[in-house]
Amino acid sequence: MDNLGLIGMASIVTAGLTIAIGSIAPALGEGMAVARALGAIAQQPDKANVITRTLFVGLAMIESTAIYCFVVTMILLFVNPFWNHFKGG
Amino acid sequence: MDNLGLIGMASIVTAGLTIAIGSIAPALGEGMAVARALGAIAQQPDKANVITRTLFVGLAMIESTAIYCFVVTMILLFVNPFWNHFKGG
Amino acid sequence: MDNLGLIGMASIVTAGLTIAIGSIAPALGEGMAVARALGAIAQQPDKANVITRTLFVGLAMIESTAIYCFVVTMILLFVNPFWNHFKGG
Amino acid sequence: MDNLGLIGMASIVTAGLTIAIGSIAPALGEGMAVARALGAIAQQPDKANVITRTLFVGLAMIESTAIYCFVVTMILLFVNPFWNHFKGG
Amino acid sequence: MDNLGLIGMASIVTAGLTIAIGSIAPALGEGMAVARALGAIAQQPDKANVITRTLFVGLAMIESTAIYCFVVTMILLFVNPFWNHFKGG
Amino acid sequence: MDNLGLIGMASIVTAGLTIAIGSIAPALGEGMAVARALGAIAQQPDKANVITRTLFVGLAMIESTAIYCFVVTMILLFVNPFWNHFKGG
Amino acid sequence: MDNLGLIGMASIVTAGLTIAIGSIAPALGEGMAVARALGAIAQQPDKANVITRTLFVGLAMIESTAIYCFVVTMILLFVNPFWNHFKGG
Amino acid sequence: MDNLGLIGMASIVTAGLTIAIGSIAPALGEGMAVARALGAIAQQPDKANVITRTLFVGLAMIESTAIYCFVVTMILLFVNPFWNHFKGG
Amino acid sequence: MDNLGLIGMASIVTAGLTIAIGSIAPALGEGMAVARALGAIAQQPDKANVITRTLFVGLAMIESTAIYCFVVTMILLFVNPFWNHFKGG
Amino acid sequence: MDNLGLIGMASIVTAGLTIAIGSIAPALGEGMAVARALGAIAQQPDKANVITRTLFVGLAMIESTAIYCFVVTMILLFVNPFWNHFKGG
Amino acid sequence: MDNLGLIGMASIVTAGLTIAIGSIAPALGEGMAVARALGAIAQQPDKANVITRTLFVGLAMIESTAIYCFVVTMILLFVNPFWNHFKGG
Amino acid sequence: MDNLGLIGMASIVTAGLTIAIGSIAPALGEGMAVARALGAIAQQPDKANVITRTLFVGLAMIESTAIYCFVVTMILLFVNPFWNHFKGG
Amino acid sequence: MDNLGLIGMASIVTAGLTIAIGSIAPALGEGMAVARALGAIAQQPDKANVITRTLFVGLAMIESTAIYCFVVTMILLFVNPFWNHFKGG
Amino acid sequence: MDNLGLIGMASIVTAGLTIAIGSIAPALGEGMAVARALGAIAQQPDKANVITRTLFVGLAMIESTAIYCFVVTMILLFVNPFWNHFKGG
């Protein structure tokens, strides 16, 4: 097993785990936020607009951490600087 | 065991674990959101429309993290750049 | 142990674990949703239709993550691209 | 230890773990749903029919994830494609 | 250590762990259901019949996952296809 | 270390762990059920008969999973088919 | 290290762990049951007899899982069939 | 390292872990029971006798699992049959 | 495997895990904050401005820990001083 | 590394871990009991004597499991039968 | 692999894990504090100033532990004394 | 690495872990007790004397388990019988 | 790898983990304290001074444990006695 | 790697982990105590003196377990008897 194989294997495993682990918390956090939003709408139906708007801003904020992980996964798979170095070497 | 076998094995294991781990949190988060939505409908039956609509937007948001994982799994199985490099090499 | 044996073994182990781990969260999430639905029906028996309908849409959404895992398991067992490569090689 | 022994051993271990791990969540989820159903009947005895019917649909849905695991276990034990390849080879 | 010994050892360990892990969740789930049933009887003594009947159907459903594991354990111990192959070979 | 020693060691370790792990959940589940039964008796002393009877049926159901494990432990210790094969061979 | 030493070591370690792990859940389950019984007596002092009797039956049931583990521990230490085979061989 | 040293080392480690792990649950269970007993006395000071008596019977029952572990520890340290066999051999 | 390959592999694995682990807590913390904000708006609709403003400051504060992790990941991938040293050496 | 060194090392590690692990649960259990006792005194100041007396009996009972561990630690450090055997041999 | 490579690899892994683990608790703690602050504002809108001020001081205090970790990460990456020693040696 | 180095290393690691693990539970238990004591004083300010006195006796009892661990740590560091044997040998 | 490299690597890893693990609990503890302080201010706005003062003393106390860890990290990185010994040797 | 290097490495790792693990529980325990103290002041502002005094005594008691760990860490770093033995030898 040479360097190229090793770097490739590490990239594959890391790419998968990064998005897998990185999607745990955003999904749970969004679940909490959505669940609470529904409760808030049930409690104050007249304010559904404000609640929904705040919810969507919050969801975008939470989703951003999942997107960081997705970006890193894509970098590792398609523009991996270490892989490029060895492949070109 | 040469590089090709190693890359193949790592891809199989990672593909499976990525979708397996990545489906834990969305399922729980959606469970929480659906459970709360049903409670909200029971509490404010007149607002079932607003609640259901917000629920579906939220579910789509949560499901997106599961889909990130599914996309990465499919990439690893069918358009894996590292596997293609070694197979073609 | 040559490449073929290794790929085979990795596929078996991964296929089993993928569906095993991947069924944890959907089952729990559906359990939560069903449990809450029964409570909602007991609280608002007149709205049993709306509640049941929302419940089934939600269950389908949650079940989808289990089905992603099942699909990956079946791919690994029966149309595994890495296995096919080595078997045919 | 040749390929055949290795594949056999991996199949045995994976088959057992798949059904063992895969039965954790359905049993808990069904426990939650049944427990809540009994509470709902105690709360609204007049609606026992609707509650029981919804419960059984929900249990079938939850049980389905356990059945996915059972199916995979049976495939690994009795129609294992990798074992058949090596045994016939 | 030849193939036969290895397959035997794996079968023993897997058989034990399968039923051990597989009995965790059903026992807890049944505990939850029974506990709730007793509470429901105390709350609505007049409906003890309906509650008990629903409880027993639910317990049977939950017990089914434990029985899946028990079946797999028995298969591994007494009609293990891999063991039979090597023993007869 | 030959096959016989290995099979013996695996049987000992598995036998012990099977009953040890397998007794965790039944004991907890029974504890929950008994605890709730006492609360139910305190709440509805007039129905102590029905409660006690339901409790005992439930305990028997929960105990059954512990007994599955005990049976497997005894099989592994005293009528172990793998051990008999090697001992007689 | 020959077979006899290995079997002896495995027996020692398994015997200790079996009773150690096996006593976790019964102790917790009994703790829950006793705690609840005291609360029930405080709530319905007139029914102390019924409560205490039900408690003792329940404790015996829970204790039984600890006793299964103790029996297996004693078997492993003093009438271990695998040890006897090798010692006599 | 011969058999005697190995058996001795395993006995030491197992003896310590058995009592260490085995004392976790009884201490917690007794803590729960004592805590609840004090609450019950505060709630029904007139029944302090019955409560205290039931508490002590329960504590003895819970303590019994700790004593099982202590007995096994003492057996392993001072009347260890495996150690005696090798020491005398 | 020389130094360069090792450093590359370590950088890949660490970069992925850093952002994956580092995104768990911010997502959960933001989920909690957003969920509570929605509850607060439902409780005091007139103060939605103050609540939303405080929420956004808090979210920025929580997000900052995720950004620390993202910065370190980017440093490891693109301006890694150790990699540069060996690559240039 | 001969037998004596190995036995010594195992004794040191086991002695430390036994008291360390063994002190977790008693401290938590006593914390629960003391916390509840203070609450009970605040609730029924007139019965402070009975409460305090029951508390101390309970604490002694819980402390006993810590003392078992301490005794085993001291045996392992100062009257270790295995160490004495090898040292004298 | 010489000293320099080893030190470099250890620095990379440690730097990543330090900030990753170190950001878990501050994010959760800040989430709790922000969530509670929003609740407090909803409860006492007139005191929003005092609450917000106390919140920000508290957040700064909590953030400080994240900053300790970030500082150590930066030291390890850019002014690492061990790396400098070997690189200069 | 001879016996002396091994015994020394084991003593160092064990000494540190003993006090580290052993201080977890007392600190938590004391935290619970102190927290509850403050609540009790707030509830019954007139009985602050009795509460404080009972608290201090309880804290001493809980602290005793931490002191057991500290004593064992000090024994391992400064009057370690195994170290003395080898050092003097 | 000689002693110097080993000591350097151990120092790097330990320094990072010490501050990373050591910052978990203070951040959570401070989060709890700040959260409760905000609740207390909302409940008794007139006593904001006393509450804030007690809060800051408590935060300093909690922060002290984080500072212990930071001090040890700095010692390991910059005035490490073991590193100095080998470097100078 | 000789004895001296090994002892040094073990001392470094143990020193760091001791204070890191040892600071978890005191910080959490103090957090609980401070949080409850603030609640008690809000409930009984007139008794702020008694509460604060009891709090500080309790914090000192809890802090003591952190100080035990800090003392052991300092001993390991600066007056380590095992290191001194080998260094001087």
Domain at M71, CATH number: 1.20.20.10
Q: Assess whether chains K and M touch, using the rule of 3 or more C-beta pairs within 8 angstroms.
A: yes
Selecting from M17, M18, M40 the residue whose C-beta is nearest the C-beta of N38 gives M40
* Residue-level pLDDT at M89: 57
pLDDT value of position E89: 57
pLDDT for A2 = 78
Query: Residue A88: what pLDDT?
Result: 77
* Side chain identity at residue N83, one-letter code: W
The Cα–Cα gap between I54 and K48 comes to 10
Q: Which has the closest alpha carbon to N22: L27, M80, M73?
A: L27
Q: What is the CA radius of gyration of chain C?
A: 20
Average pLDDT over every residue of G36-55 = 89
Q: Which site among K3, K17, K49, K68 would you substitute to test the M interface, given the most M Cβ atoms closer than 10 Å to its Cβ?
A: K68
User: Would residue D47 count as lying in a domain?
Assistant: yes
To the nearest whole angstrom, how far is the Cα of A56 from the nearest Cα of chain I? Answer: 10
Chain A CB contacts of I30 under 8 Å are: 29, 58, 61-62, 65
Mean pLDDT of chain K: 90
Are the C-beta atoms of residues I82 and K12 closer than 8 Å to each other? yes
ipTM above 0.85, yes or no: yes
Mean pLDDT, range J19-42, rounded to an integer: 92
Query: Which residues of chain I neighbour A87 with C-beta distances below 8 Å?
Result: none
CB-closest option in I14, I37, I65 to K16: I14
* Among J28, J78, N65, CA closest to L68: N65
Tell me: the pLDDT tens digits for L5-21?
Answer: 888 999 999 999 999 99
Minimal CA–CA distance to K30: which of K69, K58, K68, K70?
K58
Give contacts of D33 with chain E, Cβ < 8 Å: 58
pLDDT at K80 over 60: yes
Q: What is the pLDDT of residues N16-74, one digit of tens each?
A: 999 999 999 999 999 999 999 999 998 888 888 889 999 999 999 999 999 999 999 99
Residues with pLDDT less than 70, chain C: 1, 89
Helices (H), B23-88: 24-43, 48-78, 81-88
Question: Is A86 domain-assigned?
Answer: no
What is the distance in angstroms between the Cα of C80 and the nearest Cα belonging to chain B? 8
Q: Which residue of G has its CA nearest to H66?
A: G23
Among E30, E39, E73, select the one facing F61 at the smallest CB separation. E30
For residue M84, count CB atoms less than 10 angstroms from its CB and return exposed for 0-12, middle for 13-18, buried for 19 or more. Answer: exposed
Do residues E37 and F35 lie in contact, with contact meaning Cβ atoms separated by under 8 Å? no
Please give, rounded to a whole number of angstroms, the shortest distance from the CA of D27 to a CA of chain E.
Answer: 5
Structure token pair of residue J61: 């009972």
Q: Print the domain residue range for E51.
A: 3-82
- Among D32, D48, G42, E59, which residue's Cα sits nearest to residue F54? E59
CA distance J67 to chain L (A): 9
Segment H54-67 shows an average pLDDT of: 92
Partners for I (CB, 8 Å, 3+ pairs)? A, K
Say which residue the tokens 């317990």 belong to: E59
| Domain assignment present for F87 | no
Interchain proximity F16–G40, CB inside 8 Å: no
Are H28 and J28 a contacting pair, CB within 8 Å? yes
For chain M, the chains sharing at least 3 beta-carbon pairs closer than 8 angstroms are K, N
Residue N69 is nearest to which of L23, L28, L31, comparing CB atoms?
L23
Contact N65 L26 (CB under 8 A): yes
Of the residues K21, K34, K62, the best mutation for testing chain I's interface (the one with the most I CB atoms within 10 Å of its CB) is K34
Contacts of K72 in chain M (CB under 8 A): 15-16, 19-20, 73, 77
Domain count for chain K, please give it.
1
pLDDT of residue B64: 92
Confidence at H88, pLDDT banded by 50, 70, 90? confident
M77-83 long-range contacts (CB < 8 A, ≥24 apart) are: M77/K72, M77/K75, M77/K81, M77/M11, M77/M15, M78/K81, M80/M7, M80/M11, M80/N12, M81/N77, M81/N78, M82/M7, M82/M11, M82/N8, M82/N9, M82/N11, M82/N12, M82/N83, M83/K82, M83/M4, M83/M7, M83/M8, M83/M11
Whether E1 has a pLDDT exceeding 60, the answer reads no
Give the pLDDT mean for G57-78.
Answer: 93
Q: Residue A89 has what pLDDT? A: 57
Q: What is the DSSP string of chain M?
A: --HHHHHHHHHHHHHHHHHHHHTHHHHHHHHHHHHHHHHHHHH-GGGHHHHHHHHHHHHHHHHHHHHHHHHHHHHHHHS-HHHHHHHH-
Which residues of chain A, if any, have pLDDT below 50? none
Set of chain D residues whose Cβ sits within 8 Å of the Cβ of C42: 39-41, 43-44, 47, 51
Q: B72 and A15: CB-CB below 8 Å?
A: yes
Residue J1 has pLDDT above 80, yes or no: no
Are C17 and C70 a contacting pair, CB within 8 Å?
no
For residues J38-42, average pLDDT = 90
Structure tokens at N88: 């001087």
Report yes or no on M89 lying in a domain.
no
Contacts of F12 (CB under 8 A, 6+ apart): G7, G10, G11, G14, G76, G80, G82
Residue F86 — very low, low, confident or very high, per pLDDT cuts 50/70/90?
confident
- L56 pLDDT above the threshold of 70: yes
CA separation for the pair N57, A82 (Å, rounded): 57
CA–chain centroid gap for M4, Å, is 28
> Does residue G86 belong to any structural domain of this protein?
no
pLDDT in the model for residue M1: 56
State the best of L6, L12, L82 to mutate against chain N, taking most chain N CBs within 10 Å: L12
Residue J37 has pLDDT above 70, yes or no: yes
A42 with B46: Cβ contact below 8 A? no
pLDDT of residue F88: 77
Report the gap between the CA of A72 and the closest CA in chain I (Å): 7
Residue spans of chain M under pLDDT 50? none
pLDDT at D76 over 90: yes
Query: Phi then psi for K23, rounded to 5 degrees?
Result: -95, -5
CB-CB under 8 Å, J22 with H17: no
Structure tokens at N48: 């702020």
Question: Which of helix, strand or coil describes residue F28?
Answer: helix
Burial (0-12, 13-18, 19+ Cβ within 10 Å), G57: middle
Residues of chain F with Cβ-Cβ distance to E37 below 8 Å are 54, 58
CA-based nearest distance F77→chain G, Å: 7
Reply yes or no on whether the pLDDT at N1 is more than 80. Answer: no
- Residue K39 tokens read as 């609740």
Q: Is the pLDDT of residue E86 over 90?
A: no
pLDDT at residue E24, rounded to an integer: 92
pLDDT band at K47 (very low <50, low <70, confident <90, very high): confident
pLDDT band, very low/low/confident/very high, at I89 (cuts 50, 70, 90): low
The answer to whether N9 contacts M13, with C-beta atoms less than 8 Å apart, is no
pLDDT < 70 positions in chain B: 1, 89
The confidence band for E44, taking pLDDT boundaries of 50, 70 and 90, is confident
Residues of F in contact with E4 (CB under 8 A): 3
Contacts of H73 in chain G (CB under 8 A): 16
Q: What is the mean pLDDT of residues F38-50?
A: 88
Q: What are phi and psi of A80, to 5 degrees?
A: -65, 110
Instruction: Measure Cα distances from A22 to A62, G67, I67 in Å.
Output: 11, 45, 14
Which alpha helices (DSSP H) does N1-89 contain, by range? 3-22, 24-43, 48-78, 81-88
| In the predicted structure, residue L88 carries a pLDDT above the cut 80 | no
Q: Are L and G neighbours with ≥3 CB pairs closer than 8 A?
A: no
End-to-end CA distance of chain N: 16
Q: What is the pLDDT of residue A75?
A: 94
G20 neighbors H21 (Cβ within 8 angstroms):
yes
Question: Is D25 a domain residue?
Answer: yes
All partners of chain L with 3 or more CB pairs under 8 angstroms: J, N
**Position H88 in a domain:** no
pLDDT band at residue F44 using 50, 70 and 90 as cut-offs: confident
Query: Helix, strand, or coil here: K84?
Result: helix
User: Subunits touching G (CB < 8 Å, at least 3 pairs)?
Assistant: F, H
Instruction: Please give, rounded to a whole number of angstroms, the shortest distance from the CA of A42 to a CA of chain B.
Output: 5
Q: A42 vs B39: CB contact, 8 Å cut-off?
A: yes
pLDDT of residue H89: 57
- The model's pLDDT over K26-41, given as tens digits with 9 standing for 90+, comes to 999 999 999 999 999 9
pLDDT of residue B1: 55
Q: Which residues of N touch L84 (CB under 8 A)?
A: none
Whether K86 is covered by a domain: the verdict is no
Measured in angstroms, the CA of N88 and the nearest CA of chain M are apart by: 12
How sure is the predictor about E62, in pLDDT bands with cuts at 50, 70 and 90? very high
Residue E82, amino acid: F
What pLDDT band is residue L1 in, cutting at 50, 70 and 90? Answer: low
Shortest CA gap G19–chain H (Å): 6
The mean per-residue pLDDT over the stretch J23-33 comes to 93
Helices (H) and strands (E) in chain E, counts: 4, 0
